[in-house]
Structure 1
Amino acid sequence: MDLRKVQKFGKSTLMISLPAEWVKSVNLKPGTSVYIDVDEDGGLKVYPPTYNPQGTKHEMQIKISENTDPDLLERVVRSFYVLGFDRIVIKNEGGIIPNEAMRKLREVSRSLIGLEMIANDLQNVEIRSYIDPTKHNFNVILGQLVNTLKLMVNYLSHGLKSGSRKFIEEILELEKEADRLYFLGLRQLILAQTNKSLAYIIGVPSVQIIGNRIIIKSLEEVADEISEAANMLLGLPPEGLNYLKDFYPTFLSVKEKMDTLLNQIVKLRGDWNYRAANELMEELRVLRKSLMLELENLQAQLMNDHRRNKYGPKIVGFMLRFYSAIRNLEPIAEIAMNRSLENLKEVDLK
């Protein structure tokens, strides 16, 4: 650790000189701005204003065989992408890469933003990431993910209203897009955790990285629940989908409230206001309660209508998926409340 003396400059300004070796290594010039971060323990950190992607290249080699589990291979490649690796080489030193392994490598390359698979020969495959981390603001990624969720809910609403499978099938494609955004956002957060300059560039204060990981995971799980609800509808015969049109007015009310909640989350990202966070918490509580009442009413009607008895369990399961989706939004409201209060000197609740 370097010890330096604080000097006075002018009437009230205190200053210290920067280490010459560090100034040279990050190419600082007179007039250049730097980032200053105050740690929770009172320490002060200075970061250069630029992020050099060339200085953070990560490469990894994965050795496989005929016995390698293709699903495990897919998960490992996805994890290296999230961890920020830019070049992944898969080798089978004992022979040709199995067909199922190649299929999984193609799938994972197509399912992640910025990845490209290059087959060098029968025994070697290279996967490269062409993402420039500085070009992907985290809040923009979050906004895109929220908009994707709203589209999923709207397509589900149209599918119920019309009884059309085409609208419902579109939800499954949107869920894949939600996953792509989730993994990109997670990659950005992990890179920001190890590079504070990048954290500033993509709009993620270092103290908020953990909370942002919870937020983006919560949104991804909401997408999963909506996708599962769509799969339940796709499992019905045409007669079942037509019957569920009668259920549309009930779902429309849920859909409108869900839209309101997602819009509030978008607004909270730019303004961590404790009253708005409290309002979001209350609306989540009320919506959960109304959904449970609706579920109780549906179950009570199952014994009185043959068709309801036939398709009622699907409706109940469908509503339970939305109940779970709403529960997954609750951590976001809690984080919003905490962030709105953490730097206040006092709180006026009058």
Structure 2
Amino acid sequence: MDLRKIQITGGSSFMITLPKEWADSVNLKKNDTVGLQPQADGSMIIYPGGTSTSPKGSTKTIEADGVEDKDFLYRKLVGAYIAGHDSIILHSDVGLSSLAASTASSFAQIAIGLEIMEESDTSIMIKDLMDRGEMRPAKSVDRMKVLVRNMLNDIMDGLENGDVSLLDPMVDRDREVDRIDWLISRQVNIHQRDTGLSRRMGLDLCEISRCGYISRSLERIGDHAVLLASNFRPLIDDPTDLDREIIATGRDVIALMVDSVGTWSNKDMDAANRCIERGERLVKRSLELSDLADSLSGKPAMATELIAGSVKRVAEYSMDIAEIAINSAMD
């Protein structure tokens, strides 16, 4: 931190000098205008040029030479995307391999907002085409909630109606949930690096950070939806006396998940507390369901045990969201 003493000019005006290194870095010259924006915490932001503008986009270069693990290269691309870089360059001194090129192409097709803009034998440039002024993580959380809710509802409908076809698309639908989770994580990082962006959009940075926590809980619930789908198949093939209890408990935990997200959106502390209490009861029901699985045999017994575990985890993740809602309501 560069500390400056306040001086008085004209008998009544306070004055400080600006660090020359900073002024040169943003091309400030004599008689240029700067913008001053007071903050709620008593600090002041100085904007060169007189307006609050977003910082220049960053570029991340990933060297592909020597990387033979496709999954590792893919994780690097995902990491650069989530970190918030506007451009990602995949580079090779000797020429990109077909593995590297295909990995970059698959990644650009899956990640939201990206497009391959330049491609040569030695490099691929992937750019983010999304408007930063439209980045509202809370909206993405709502979309994620709907996708996960629909996944869970279809799983319960599959068991209730004996329709295994409803379980088949769960892996693909979970990928869509993962894509939104990446997007929210990216948006959170961008807002944290460019705090002026959240101010211009009228968004609270603490709430933006909480979007990331809620997104992660919903993403994990989506993972459990995939597990539930795989474990429901033995029960559809061989119905048991516990199917009704499984469906009833499942429906209740779906409602809990939806309501928990709603308490965060509405900053409803009392409703969030009720969700936590409901969650505690559902955790007990899931443990009882696990005990009842001992009365079964074969694949249905194992499936019921695993289903009870997933239901318990969904209830616990929903309670985590409700606790975030209480924290939010206390702001």
TM range (shorter): 0.7 to 0.9
Q: Is the 8 A contact 1:146 1:266 kept in 2?
A: yes
Q: 1:298 to 1:135 in 2, by over 3 A?
A: same
C-alpha contact 1:63 1:92 (8 A) present in aligned 2: yes
Q: Is the 8 A contact 1:273 1:337 kept in 2?
A: yes
Once residues 164 and 113 of structure 1 are traced to their aligned partners in structure 2, the CA distance between those partners, rounded to angstroms, is 32
Matches within 5 A, 1:90-109: 90-95=90-95, 97-109=96-108
Aligned partner of residue 167 in structure 2, secondary structure: helix
Give the structure 1 partner of residue 39 of structure 2: 37
Amino acid at match of 2:251: E
Instruction: Indicate whether 1:264 and 2:253 are aligned.
Output: no
- Tell me the CA shift for residue 178 of structure 1: 0.8
| CA distances 1:249-272 after superposition (whole Å, capped 9, x unpaired) | 223212321232133223223332
Structure 1 pair 203–233 and aligned structure 2 pair: CA distance change class (3 A): farther
In the alignment, is residue 333 of structure 1 matched against residue 328 of structure 2?
no
Aligned position for 2:268: 273
- Equivalent residue number for residue 294 of structure 1: 289
Tell me the distance in 2 between the aligned counterparts of 1:318 and 1:25.
Answer: 63
- Aligned twin of 1:250: 245
C-alpha change, 1:176 and 1:132, in structure 2 (3 Å) is: same
Alignment of 1:1-350 (within 5 A): 1=3, 36-39=38-41, 43-46=42-45, 52=53, 55-65=55-65, 67-95=67-95, 97-118=96-117, 120-201=119-200, 204-233=203-232, 241-244=236-239, 247-299=242-294, 301-302=295-296, 308-341=297-330, 343=331
Unaligned regions of 5+ residues in structure 2, if any? none
C-alpha distance in structure 1 between counterparts of 2:124 and 2:203, whole Å: 34
> Structure 1's 59 and 309: CA in aligned 2 closer, same or farther, altered over 3 A?
same
Structure 1 stretch displaced more, 138-147 or 114-123? 114-123
TM-aligned CA deviation for residue 209 of structure 1: 4.4
Q: How many residues align?
A: 313
Whether contact under 8 Å (2:253, 2:311) holds in the other structure is: no
* Aligned twin of 1:348: none
Q: Give the TM-score normalised by the residue count of structure 2.
A: 0.82
Deviation at 1:280, TM superposition (A): 1.2
Q: Which string of whole-angstrom CA distances, capped at 9 and with x for unpartnered residues, describes residues 78-113 of structure 1?
A: 111111112111122223x33333332222222210
CA distance in 2, matches of 1:206, 1:121: 39
Listed one character per residue, the Cα deviations across residues 204-256 of structure 1 (whole Å, up to 9, x for unaligned) are 4223444332222111111111122223446x5xxx63324765422321232
2:169 is paired with a residue whose SS is helix
Contact 2:84–2:189 (CA<8 Å) still a contact in 1? yes
Distance 1:162 1:24, change over 3 A: farther
Taking only aligned residues, the RMSD between alpha carbons, in angstroms, comes to: 3.1
* 1:90 partner SS: strand
Q: Check whether the contact 1:47–1:196 (CA below 8 A) recurs between aligned residues.
A: no
> Structure 1-normalised TM-score?
0.78
Secondary structure at the counterpart of residue 39 of structure 2: strand
The amino acid that maps onto 2:110 is S
Contact 1:171 1:230 in 2 (8 A): yes
Q: Is the 8 A contact 1:192 1:199 kept in 2?
A: yes
Report sequence identity in percent.
Answer: 19
Q: SS of 1:172's equivalent?
A: helix
- Structure 2: how far apart are the matches of 1:35 and 1:265? 36
Q: Which amino acid in structure 2 is aligned with residue 293 of structure 1? A: E
1:169 aligned counterpart, secondary structure: coil
SS at match of 1:93: coil
User: Structure 1: which amino acid aligns with 2:247?
Assistant: L
One-letter amino acid of the structure 1 residue matched with residue 271 of structure 2? A
Q: 1:324 to 1:339 in 2, by over 3 A?
A: same
